[in-house]
Amino acid sequence: MSGLLTSQHRRWLWLALLSVLGVRLLSLGTYSLQDTTEARYAEISRIMLETQNWVTPQFDYGIPFWGKPPLATWLSAGSFQLFGVNEFAARFPSLILAIIILVAVYTLAKRQRDSDFALIACYILASGILFFIAAGAVIMDTALVTGISLAMISFWLAMKTEKQKWGYLFFIGLSVGLLSKGPLTFVLVGFPIFLWMLWQRNFLQVWQRIPWLSGGILMLAISLPWYILAELRTPGFIDYFIVGEHWKRFTVTGWQGDLYGSAHAKMRGTIWLYAVLAFLPWSLFLPLLLRKKFKLVKKVIANDKSWLVYLGLWAVTPILFFSFAGNILATYALPAMIPLSILAAEIFSLSFVSKGEYDGRYKSPSTKSFQWLFYTGILVPILIVVAITLQNKNQIPEKSQKELLIAYQKEKIATDSQLIYLIKRPFSAQYYSQGKAIETKTWGKISPYLEDEKRDYFVVKNRELKNMPDNIKKVLTNTGEYNGYYLFIENEK
């Protein structure tokens, strides 16, 4: 395959890809950290930096966070160290990881096809809604997908080029996954590779071209020390993380063993819907193109069956695996977005086939075909910018306590006044108060704050307001409502 794009189309597509990444970069610090996920992980990173405890992530001061390994936390905490504690710094590592993924995809696609095909694949990936969001969100999944992508891409290149460096990079990718989300990496990488080997019957080649012993030692040298230190510092970590997070979370619907929140119970199979939504806008338009070019599909597959089957197994594995999970999030579909984008580039390339029989050669796209690709890819960045703008103008409610914390700081009448959240304190309140906001889980525990000499501030969620006892209502004055939460000040004593 060569010359997929004209020089003019190529320049425009590079400009579009860089613009998509530029928009994401510029957006990182323009909106609040959102509850629950972003604010929670940002606060864990902030505490890590403050306490200088780089071994054990902490859910709150003195409470270890056993839910995930620390790679993403290390990156955000390091970013805080460089840029200060702010939204941009919290999100910046995810953008860097996304760029690493794009570079890896470009390398793979260019070696397999050519640079134009690689550019199309990267453009499709970068402009898909879930990848675009993940490229600037404080989540663990972006680090996991970086590890999976490095492993899957390196494995393929190790098999095709026979260069040992790709074999070692395969194990480095596994290490990144192990330090991001743990043994789940082995499933999401090992299952598609094993099925591909089974289909290809090339076990001997795989054994010869992958440095299993030295690479395995490298993987353990990178990832195992942290697991050992984590268990030594906080005994019980291995049992909770391996058994709870990697078995019960996915097999027990509504699992109640989560120490850090509630499980996200969903109907089994929901991940398929999430995957379709995650790949928008491409999941909406590409099936139409595939249907139009359906007669060519068999010939394209026959030309490079091994490659397409590898991508297909890579894409379907996370979707199939999480189909049986009772607790899932939309981000669980993220690992599938990388191979789906490359497959989408293959489908789009069918529009370059001249009328008649496919012979493995492509023509440059028509202006109409290119415009379809170009404008579809800029939909998501435009919509995200519009959404951020509307949210900042309070046209769309945000799940964050930042506005309330700003109001509290402005109204604070004394330096020793405290901010107390009644019943439940959102993670963004912890983050934006730098860990100073207090939580009381029952109305009865508010008494010590009402009886002391200080005039404190209290926050109540709107749906909890009806449960506020009359004796407490009498001594508090409502100062305003912020995204569904009321800020009260204690009356003068």
Q: What is the pLDDT of residues 195-217, one digit of tens each?
A: 999 999 999 999 999 999 999 99
408 lies in the same domain as 380:
no
Mean per-residue pLDDT, 182-196: 96
Q: Is the peptide bond before 69 cis (omega within 30 degrees of 0)?
A: no
171 lies in the same domain as 277:
yes
Q: Mean pLDDT lowest for which of 17-26, 255-264, 432-441, 460-469?
A: 255-264
How high is the pLDDT of residue 396? 78
Residue 395 lies inside a defined structural domain of this protein: no
Asked whether 174 and 189 are in contact (CB, 8 A), the reply is yes
Residue 78 lies inside a defined structural domain of this protein: yes
Q: Is the pLDDT of residue 279 over 90?
A: yes
The amino acid present at 31, given as its one-letter code, is Y
Q: What is the pLDDT of residues 113-168, one digit of tens each?
A: 999 999 999 999 999 999 999 999 999 999 999 999 999 999 999 999 878 999 99
Of residues 6 and 401, the one with the higher pLDDT is 401
How high is the pLDDT of residue 356? 45
Domains in the chain, number: 2
Residue 338 lies inside a defined structural domain of this protein: yes
Where a domain ends, among 331, 363, 390?
390
Question: Edge-to-edge strand order for the sheet containing 419-422?
Answer: 438-440, 419-422, 457-461, 485-490, 476-482
477-481-486 Cα angle (round to 5) = 55
65 lies in the same domain as 94:
yes
How high is the pLDDT of residue 444? 87
Q: Show the domain range for 436.
A: 402-490
45 lies in the same domain as 68:
yes
> What's the mean pLDDT when you consider all of the chain?
89
Q: Is the pLDDT of residue 326 over 80?
A: no
Asked whether 442 and 460 are in contact (CB, 8 A), the reply is no
47 lies in the same domain as 150:
yes
Where a domain ends, among 341, 367, 390?
390
96 lies in the same domain as 145:
yes
370-13-284 Cα angle (round to 5) = 55
337 lies in the same domain as 463:
no
Asked whether 334 and 142 are in contact (CB, 8 A), the reply is yes
Residue 1 lies inside a defined structural domain of this protein: no
The predicted model scores a pTM of 0.92
